[in-house]
Structure 1
Amino acid sequence: MKRTARPEGGPAAGHGGVPLRVPGFDDLDRSWLRSRPGVKWRRVEGGDLPAWVADMDFPIPPAVAGALQEAVAHGDLGYPDWTGGSPLREAFARRMASRYGWEASSSRVREQTDLIQCLQLILHLATSPGDAVAVQTPNYPPFLATLRTMQRPAVPVPMTDVPMTDVPTAGDGRGSRIDMAALADGVARHGCKVLLLVNPHNPTGTVLTRDELHEIAAVARRRDLLVVSDEIHSELTHEPHRFVPFASLSPDAAARTVTITSATKAFNLAGLRCTVTHYGPDRLLAVRDAQPPDLYGTVSNLGVTGTRAAWLHGDAWQKQLLTVLDRNRRRVHDVLRERLPALRHRLPEATYFTWIDARALRLAEDPVGFVRRHGGVLLDGGAPFGTGSEQYLRLNFATSADVLEGILDGVVNALATPPAG
C-alpha cells in the first residue's frame, strides 16, 4: 500500500484543538486511492474526485487487517465450527450493553451478508405485496428501490428542517427532525404494517433524541407496527449527540423491533459483507428460523473474523476516526456557509455525509451531473433519494484533509456562479 504525506492543501487552522493532520488518515496518496479496485474511485476518471458512495478512503483498522492476515496465514478458510451461531452474536450483545446499556439477547441475533438483504428478508417474511411501509424521506436509495421492487408502497414521513431562528449557535444546532404528525397520519390513513426507521439518518445526519424515539414508539404501539430499525451508522455519532437503540426504549419497543447493524460503516469494512440482525418479535424469529438454513446465504469466515476484530479491538482506531470526521464535517460546514451562502446546509449530527439543499440555485438539470461537469467532483443525491430530493446533494467527507479540500474547491467552483437555468 502506497501512502505518502502530502504537505499541500488542508484547512488553514484546526477547529477546537483538533490537529490539522492525523497520521494514517491524512497521509493518503491519490495514486494509491485511484489504484484500489473498489467502486468509489473507479467511477471517476482523470482528475475528478469521488465523494458519493458510502465508503471511506481510509485504510482499514490495523486490528482488522491483522486478524484477516492471521486467518489466511493459518489456512482458516474451511467450514466454521459455529454451533449455535457465529461468535458475532455474543459480541453484538456485549457491545450493545457496554455502549448503550441495552441488554440485547445474543440468542435473538442472526447473521446476513448486508443491510439490504436483511431488509428484504424481513419484508419477505413479515409482509405481503401491497402492505404499506412508512419510511423517512429523503432516504437511502436502495431502501426505496427495495420497496418499489417488492411492491410494498412507501408512505413518506418527511424529515423537516428546523427553522434557522430555532437553531442556536449560528446554525450549528439541530438541522432536521422527523415529522411526527405526518408519521401518525400516514400510518393511520394507509394502514402501514411496518415502519422503516433509519437512525442515525442517511442522508441528513440527524440523530433522533430519546424523546423523539418515545413519540415514534407510541405510534408504533397504537398501530401495532413492526419497526425495522437501521442503526448501521450509530457508532458514527458526533458529540454532544447521543444515539439510543430503538429496542432499548421499553419492553414493548423491544418486542416489536428488528434491529439491523454491522461494523461496515464505522470501521470501513463494507466489502466483508457481514451484518447482524436482532429479532425482537418471537413469531418473526420463529418464521425466520423455519426457513431452509442456507436459502438466504451465509456469512463468510473472513466477514465474521473482521467484524469481531473491529468490535473487540478497533475502538482506539475508531476514536481517531471520529476526531477526523468531526474536523471534516466542521470544515465542510464552514466552507459551504462562507463560500456558498445561497445553499441550505446544517452540521450533521452523525455519519460522514452532508446533505445540501441547492434549490435556491434553480438549476435546470440534475445537480449531481452539474457538479461533476463543472467542478470535477462526483457527489450523490437527487431523485433516487425520494420525491422532493431532486435538487439536493449528498457529500461524503470521509477522506483526507487534502482530498477534502479538492472536493470542496470543485463543489464551490461549480455552484458559486452557476449559469442561469
Structure 2
Amino acid sequence: MTSDCDIAESGGRGAARQFPARDFGFDDLDLSWLRAKRGEKWRGCGPGALPASLADMDYPVAPAVREALDAAVRRGDLGYPAWSTWTGANPLAGPFADRMDARHGWRPRPEWVRNVSDLLQALQVLLRLATRPGDAVAVQTPSYPPFLKTIEMMDRRVVACPFERDGGAWSFDAERLERDVRESECRVLLLVNPHNPTGRVLTRAELESLAGIAVRHDLLVIADEIMSDLCHAPHRHIPMASLGVEIAERTITVNSATKAFNFAGLRCAVMHLAPEMVREAFDSYPPDYFGPVNVLGVEATKAAWSEGDAWLAALTDHLRANRDLVAATLAEHAPAIGYDPPESAYLAWLDCRELGLAAEPAQHFREKARVELIPGRAFGAEGRGFTRLNFATSRTVLTEMLHRMADSLTPVR
C-alpha cells in the first residue's frame, strides 16, 4: 500500500500537474495541510487513512469568502450586528432572492425569508411547527441519515419514495408514491433536489409529477435545494416553487451557500416560508427562539452569492472531472462496483452488492483499504450494499483512494 509520504513526494498515481483547475488550487492540496484540519472529516479518520466520508470538500476557502471574513475581522466587526431579528431586518432576504432570480429564474418574496443555522435545524423546526407526533412524512430514499434520524426522534413516520437504478440511471415510481401518500394520510413531502446520495437532478416532468401529488393530497412540501449551485451540465436545477402558484403556495424552500462554497461550520441557512400558516407559526415565537445566524456566516454568504461565481464555475469543472475519474478508475480496476455518475455535486453512490464482501462495504474499505466512507445502511433500507464516497478532493488523493479500494478487492495469491 502507498503511504502518505508516497502521495506527497511522488504525486501518487495521478500527478496533479496534469490536471489544472484554473489556478484556484483544487489540485494543489498538501496532505500535511489536510491532516492539520480540525473538522470531523479529517480528525475522525484513523492514522494513514484517507477520508471520503462527510460532505465537506477539501479545498481552500473561495477568495471572495476569505476576503469578506478577513475584512470583518480586520474591522473588529464581531459585535452586535446592525441588523437584528428583533427589528425584523433580515440581511439575507434580499441576497437570497437575487441569487435565486439570477441563478435559477425564480424570484422569492424577500419578506417570506427566515434564517436558521442549517438545513437540519430547518427540518426540525418545520416538523415541530407543521406536524404532530404520528404524522407521516414522504421521503426520497435512500436519504441523508440525519433527516431520517430527525423524523424518527420526533415520532413522525417515514413514507419511503425509493430511487431505483433503471438502465444506468436513478428513477422513482410516482404512482407508487401517490398510493402510499394516500394510504398513510401523509402530511409532508420532504424533497431533496439535487438528491443526496444519488446525485440526481430531477427533471421538470418529475417535479411536476411530485407537485401534482402534493396538490391533490394537500401536502406541505419542504424542498431541500442546498446542492442547487453544483449541477453538472447539461443538468439544470429547477426550484420546486417556480412551477406555478398552486405548488408555490405550499412549498418551503430551504437553501444555503455553505454546501457549494464549503463553509458549513459558519452555520447559516435560509427558509422561504411561502405557506402563511407556517410563517405565522414561526413568527409567533420570540425572534431568537430558534437561534439567530452569526455575523461571519452572513458575511460569507453574501460574498459567496455576489462575488463567488468564477470560483464556483472552476469548482464544478473540477468536480465533474473528478466524477469522471471515478468512473474511469472503477471501470478499469473495480468493474464489479456499480456507479452512476452523479448529475450534481461530489458524492458517488457506489453499488457494492456484487462484490460478495464478508463485511459491510464501508467497513471493508476502512479495514482493508484505509479509506473512510459512509455506510449505505445509514441512508435507510435502500442503502444496504451501498456506500457513499466524497470525491471533492485533489486528483492525487482521489486516485490514491480509488486504487486502495480496488487493491483491497484483489484476492491474495
TM-score grouping bracket, smaller chain normalisation? over 0.9
Describe the shift of the 1:101–1:37 C-alpha distance in structure 2 as closer, same or farther (beyond 3 A): same
5+ residue gaps, structure 2: 1-6
Moved more, 81-90 or 107-116: 81-90
| C-alpha distance in structure 2 between counterparts of 1:34 and 1:293, whole Å | 40
Please name the residue that 1:356 is paired with: 350
Contact 2:363 2:375 in 1 (8 A): no
Equivalences for 1:253-272 in 2 at 5 Å? 253-272=247-266
SS at match of 2:209: helix
Contact 2:161 2:173 in 1 (8 A): yes
SS at match of 2:304: helix
Please name the residue that 1:78 is paired with: 79
Residues 1:111 and 2:85 aligned together: no
| C-alpha distance in structure 2 between counterparts of 1:189 and 1:154, whole Å | 13
| C-alpha distance in structure 1 between counterparts of 2:11 and 2:55, whole Å | 26
SS at match of 2:270: strand
SS at match of 1:360: coil
| C-alpha distance in structure 2 between counterparts of 1:393 and 1:124, whole Å | 31
| C-alpha distance in structure 1 between counterparts of 2:347 and 2:331, whole Å | 16
Q: Deviations over 1:315-358 (max 9, x none)?
A: 11111101110110000011112221112111110010000111
Contact 1:340 1:416 in 2 (8 A): no
Q: 1:329 aligns with which of 306, 323, 326?
A: 323
Residues 1:277 and 2:274 aligned together: no
Please name the residue that 2:26 is paired with: 25
Deviation at 1:163? 2.0
Please name the residue that 1:144 is paired with: 148
Residues 1:180 and 2:152 aligned together: no
What is the TM-score with the length of structure 1 in the denominator?
A: 0.92
| C-alpha distance in structure 2 between counterparts of 1:86 and 1:58, whole Å | 30
| C-alpha distance in structure 2 between counterparts of 1:352 and 1:118, whole Å | 23
Describe the shift of the 1:404–1:85 C-alpha distance in structure 2 as closer, same or farther (beyond 3 A): same
Describe the shift of the 1:412–1:140 C-alpha distance in structure 2 as closer, same or farther (beyond 3 A): same
SS at match of 2:382: coil
Contact 1:353 1:397 in 2 (8 A): yes
5+ residue gaps, structure 1: 165-174
| C-alpha distance in structure 1 between counterparts of 2:275 and 2:239, whole Å | 16
Please name the residue that 1:37 is paired with: 38
Please name the residue that 2:135 is paired with: 131
Deviation at 1:227? 0.4
Contact 1:229 1:246 in 2 (8 A): yes
SS at match of 1:220: helix
Describe the shift of the 1:39–1:131 C-alpha distance in structure 2 as closer, same or farther (beyond 3 A): same
| C-alpha distance in structure 2 between counterparts of 1:265 and 1:52, whole Å | 15
Residues 1:238 and 2:241 aligned together: no
2:393 maps to a residue whose letter is T
| C-alpha distance in structure 1 between counterparts of 2:8 and 2:365, whole Å | 28
Q: 1:100 aligns with which of 101, 104, 107?
A: 104
| C-alpha distance in structure 1 between counterparts of 2:154 and 2:115, whole Å | 22
Residues 1:297 and 2:297 aligned together: no
Residues 1:389 and 2:380 aligned together: no
1:98 maps to a residue whose letter is A
| C-alpha distance in structure 2 between counterparts of 1:218 and 1:418, whole Å | 54
Contact 1:236 1:350 in 2 (8 A): yes
Deviation at 1:178? 2.3
Residues 1:8 and 2:2 aligned together: no
Describe the shift of the 1:12–1:31 C-alpha distance in structure 2 as closer, same or farther (beyond 3 A): closer
Task: Tell me the number of residue pairs that the alignment of Structure 1 and Structure 2 aligns.
Answer: 404
RMSD: 2.0
Q: Deviations over 1:399-421 (max 9, x none)?
A: 011111111112112234499xx
2:95 maps to a residue whose letter is A
Equivalences for 1:377-416 in 2 at 5 Å? 377-416=371-410
| C-alpha distance in structure 2 between counterparts of 1:120 and 1:20, whole Å | 38
| C-alpha distance in structure 1 between counterparts of 2:335 and 2:147, whole Å | 32
Identity rate, percent: 49
| C-alpha distance in structure 1 between counterparts of 2:159 and 2:122, whole Å | 20
Contact 2:15 2:396 in 1 (8 A): no
Q: Deviations over 1:99-129 (max 9, x none)?
A: 1110111111111001100000000000000
1:81 maps to a residue whose letter is A
| C-alpha distance in structure 2 between counterparts of 1:179 and 1:77, whole Å | 50
What is the TM-score with the length of structure 2 in the denominator?
A: 0.94
| C-alpha distance in structure 2 between counterparts of 1:240 and 1:5, whole Å | 35
Contact 1:160 1:177 in 2 (8 A): yes
Moved more, 276-285 or 379-388: 379-388
Contact 2:251 2:275 in 1 (8 A): yes
SS at match of 1:359: coil
Residues 1:345 and 2:339 aligned together: yes
